[in-house]
Structure 1
């Protein structure tokens, strides 16, 4: 079990994006793990395409699952992270995601006043304040546009960027992720503590995790940490831990043939009845029903 002493020296996770004088946006491709793949926030918008792997997504107070091909749009100063399932701590997923980061001024009110056509993206940008995952529509074309932005320059790059935004705003549907009332304390110290806690939980999901131990890691009393965590995660520590364990269980049920009781133990639940009850409450079906549904969908996709 990884101790807090190894994590306490993590740098604050405010991501400072250095603007390129020659561009209004940045196109990047990241591996995982990587220094920038962490619980972070920044004042820029971020369009995020997952190209490889699956795992857990964290957007504001939302915890979900992501798959290859998923596209997200994250609004300014909304904390976010994507944690891939790794076979071992030495695994490296090359080119896991493609990221386009851009300043709000490009599509903001002043830009819309000059170019009324931009207003087609108004709802898209407004919803992105809660984080967006694109769910349907012409997502294949969306992915192609995001990937093919690489290497473009000048007016060609700008035209291509507007083409991406127009396509997403008019040719796709999406769901918002974080709660509208989510309001974390955005400062470097908060991000640092939240990163420490998130990493520790993800590394030890199969073990017993006590609030008192985690509170001590970030040098807080139990009651102070409980209030701090609820404010910055949007939910209580126990509920957060359960959601992560259920998300890990879903992955194991889909991707392996392990018995349900083994999945229960591996995800840190102390008995099968508690696991079944928590799973039913979170997913609306039993673990066995979930596995059958997931395998049926996979079979239909392959045939």
Structure 2
């Protein structure tokens, strides 16, 4: 499968652009695609359908606020349902360097930087933070570029909060390096990232930290909130989803390249996580494929 790469068009000396769509102007038939160099903040209001972000496919309705980093394939689909006149979509696309450099390293933009980092797996705003974002949106008229920048920055601050956000893609689909993690944990996760496609035992990884297998298992779950086995499984399934999206190799090869040794076990595990078989998952992706 070839995922469409959309080029984000910006004016001269511009680092972000705002797109507004309402009622009949809304077209959710755009295929599964990604942006090479731009983040995308999307508000969908008064719509019902399905959104596909990386390896997560999820229904949406009412009010949806999502931040997506460069490189994550995504699309929204309304399945041909007529959009009500009051339905609205606001999309802000911006380049990473808008908040990079000395400015991005300041304490004033600490939450913004954290939100951008967490959006590497796609990030949904929830709870009180979402309601605050919607309140800010209701006051915005998007007429003044400086006010647009202030609006965007305030929304990104909400994404950088430690509460009311949810990462969307699995750890295996978009592996992340968290700058705030301890060196010991980073050593372990980097090792797993390099070796998870082969048989990997707790004792082998525990040796990296000079721990017993039982002590390491407790340490790992405390810091990742997942058991070692669950984490490995998530990495393998995320890799499989990525291969199903980005290649046409046979399902058996996807199984082996993801670290599974048995196709039946792979199919059962995949279905348990994604609610469908690997073959149907690929067909769903191909439904949004422009080629």
TM-score range, shorter chain: 0.5 to 0.7
Q: Kindly report structure 1 stretches of 4+ aligned residues shifted beyond 6 Å.
A: 242-245
- Note if 1:55 corresponds to 2:65: no
TM-score (norm 1): 0.53
* Residue equivalent to 1:112: 104
Aligned CA distance change for structure 1 residues 153 and 55 (closer, same or farther; 3 Å): same
Q: Is the 8 A contact 1:137 1:171 kept in 2?
A: no
Rounded to whole Å, the distance in 1 between the matches of 2:58 and 2:124 is 10
- Note if 1:64 corresponds to 2:58: yes
- Which of 14, 20, 31 in structure 2 is aligned with 1:23? 14
- Note if 1:82 corresponds to 2:82: no
- Which of 151, 156, 159 in structure 2 is aligned with 1:165? 156
* Residue equivalent to 1:137: 128
Aligned CA distance change for structure 1 residues 243 and 133 (closer, same or farther; 3 Å): farther
Q: Is the 8 A contact 1:146 1:164 kept in 2?
A: no
Aligned CA distance change for structure 1 residues 149 and 244 (closer, same or farther; 3 Å): farther
- Secondary structure, counterpart of 2:126 in structure 1: strand
- Secondary structure, counterpart of 1:69 in structure 2: strand
Q: Is the 8 A contact 1:13 1:40 kept in 2?
A: yes
Q: Is the 8 A contact 1:47 1:101 kept in 2?
A: yes
Give how far 1:29 is off: 2.4
- Note if 1:44 corresponds to 2:38: yes
Rounded to whole Å, the distance in 1 between the matches of 2:122 and 2:279 is 18
Show structure 2 runs of 5+ residues with no match: 176-243, 259-269, 285-291
5 Å matches for 1:171-182?
A: 173-182=164-173
Aligned CA distance change for structure 1 residues 244 and 223 (closer, same or farther; 3 Å): closer
Give how far 1:80 is off: 0.6
- Which of 250, 260, 263 in structure 2 is aligned with 1:223? 250
* Residue equivalent to 1:212: none
Q: CA RMSD in A?
A: 3.8
TM-score (norm 2): 0.55
Q: Would you say how many aligned residue pairs link Structure 1 and Structure 2?
A: 193
- Note if 1:238 corresponds to 2:281: no
Rounded to whole Å, the distance in 2 between the matches of 1:128 and 1:55 is 22
Rounded to whole Å, the distance in 2 between the matches of 1:48 and 1:86 is 20
- Note if 1:102 corresponds to 2:141: no
Aligned CA distance change for structure 1 residues 78 and 242 (closer, same or farther; 3 Å): closer
* Residue equivalent to 1:293: none
